[in-house]
A and B are shown apart, each in its own frame.
Chain A
Amino acid sequence: MSAETLQAFVVFYNKSKYMARPVRFNLIEKDTSDRGINQVMMPEGHIGEGFFATSLDKVVGLARKNSMWPLPFATSCCGIEFMATMGSHYDLSRFGSERVGFSPRQCDLLMVMGTIAKKMAPVLRQVYLQMAEPRWVMAVGACASSGGIFDTYSVLQGIDQVIPVDVYVPGCPPRPEAIIDGVLKIQDLVQDESLRRRNGDQYKALLEGYGIQ
C-alpha cells in the first residue's frame, strides 16, 4: 500500500467513523431540519399549572384515533400485503393499531382486503352489522374497491355495493406504505369526527341507503 493510498484510507476511515460502509447514507448526513419528528399533537386547549383543559370531542377523537382496533377481512393477495404491514418492518403498531381483533364486536375498523365474490357479500355484510358503532371501513386494493380485474358475473363490483366505505386504498395489490397511508386517512376521519355524526340524519340516511337499520 502506497503512502498516498494509506493516507486516503485513513481520512475516509476517520470521516466515516467506525465500521460504517461507504454508502450514501453514511457519507452524506441527512438533512432533517425541515421535518420534525411526527408525534401525537396536543389538541387546542388551555394550559395552566398542572392542568390542561380542552373539549370532550377532541379528547375522544384523540383516544379513538390512536387506538384503532382493525378487523382484517383478508380474502386474497392484498391480505399478504397486510401481513407485511403488520410485520416488524412496516409495523402498523407504530400507529396504535397493533391490536388486530378477530371479533367484529370489539373492532373499530373493518379492513376488507381482496376479491369479494357475490356469494361472500352477505357474509361481509353480516360482519359489518356485528360491529358496534362507531365503525369505519377501509377497502384495500382494486378488487375490494371496484371488483378490480374481475369484471365478471361471480364477483361483487366493489364492497360499497353492500356496505358503506370510508377510505379506498388503490393498488393491485397496494404496497404496505399505501395501506398505512389509508390507515392514516382513517385516523384523520376518526380524529375530526363529530360526536353527533352517528346520530345525525345524514348518517341514518346513508345506512338506510344500504338497507341497514
Chain B
Amino acid sequence: MSTHYDTIREILSRQFGDRILAWEFPYGMLSFTIQPEFNLKALTLLYDDPDLGFQFLTDITGVHYPEREGQELAVVYHLHNLAKNVRIRMKIYVPVAKPDVYTATGLFSGANWMERETYDFFGINFIGHPDLRRVLNVDEMDYFPLRKEFPLEDQTRIDKDDEMFGR
C-alpha cells in the first residue's frame, strides 16, 4: 500500500472513525464501507480535502446480496483523483425493504443518470434526486431486473418447452 493510500486512510479515519465499517484492498484498489447515512458526507470530504481531491465520479452501481440479512443492496461509488491518478471505491449497504440513499447529484452532476440507472436495475431510492425515473428499461417495467429474485429469461414467453431447454 502506497503512502498516498495511507494518507487517504488516515484522513478518512480521523473524520469518520468507526462509522467506516471496513477497509479492503482488493486487486490494489483501496475500498471502504461506510454507514449508508454518511455517504454524502464522505463524498464531500473526498471531494473537498486538498490531500484527497477525488473530484471525478467514475461510476455508481449496485449489487444485490440476497443472503445478507438487513443489508441486501450495496451501492458502490468509484471515484478518481485525476491530478494524481488515484482511484478509490466506496460502498454502502442498505436493506432491500427500505433502500433509501442520499443522492450525490448535488456534488456531481454526472451522478444524475448513474443514479437513475442504479434505480432502474436495483430499485435504490435516491433521496433528493431531481428526476428519479427509469433511464434504460421501458417505463412500463414493474420490477427491478438485476435483483436476484428475478430470473434473467423473459417471463412473458409461453412458447418455450422446458424439456428442450434442459430445465
Contact = CB atoms under 8 A, between A and B. Distances in A.
B138 interface: yes
A200 to B, nearest CB: 27
B157 A157 contact: yes
Contacts of B152: 151-153
Nearest to B139: A119
Nearest to B121: A153
A147 interface: yes
Nearest to B152: A152
B145 A151 contact: no
Q: Chain A contact residues: over half helix, strand or loop, or mixed?
A: loop
A154 interface: yes
A155 interface: yes
B157 A153 contact: no
A157 B80 CA distance: 40
B139 to A, nearest CB: 9
B159 to A, nearest CB: 8
Interface string B117-147: 0000000000000000000111001000100
B18 interface: no
Contacts of A118: 137-138
Contacts of A151: 152-154, 157, 160
Contacts of A119: 136-138
A147 B138 contact: no
A76 to B, nearest CB: 17
Interface in A112-130: 118-119
B137 A152 contact: no
Interface in A126-179: 147, 151-155, 157
A157 B154 contact: yes
Interface in B85-106: none
Nearest to B137: A154
B25 interface: no
B150 interface: yes
Given A119-B136, A151-B154, 17 more contacts: A118-B137, A119-B137, A119-B138, A147-B154, A147-B157, A151-B153, A151-B157, A152-B152, A152-B153, A153-B137, A153-B145, A153-B155, A154-B137, A154-B145, A155-B154, A157-B156, A157-B157
Interface of B: 136-138, 141, 145, 150, 152-157, 160
Interface of A: 118-119, 147, 151-155, 157
Q: Considering the complex of A and B, which 10 residue pairs feature the smallest CB-CB distances, nearest first? A: A153-B145, A151-B153, A118-B138, A119-B138, A157-B157, A157-B154, A151-B154, A152-B152, A153-B154, A152-B154
11 contacts: A118-B138, A119-B138, A151-B154, A151-B160, A152-B152, A152-B153, A153-B152, A153-B154, A154-B136, A157-B154, A157-B156
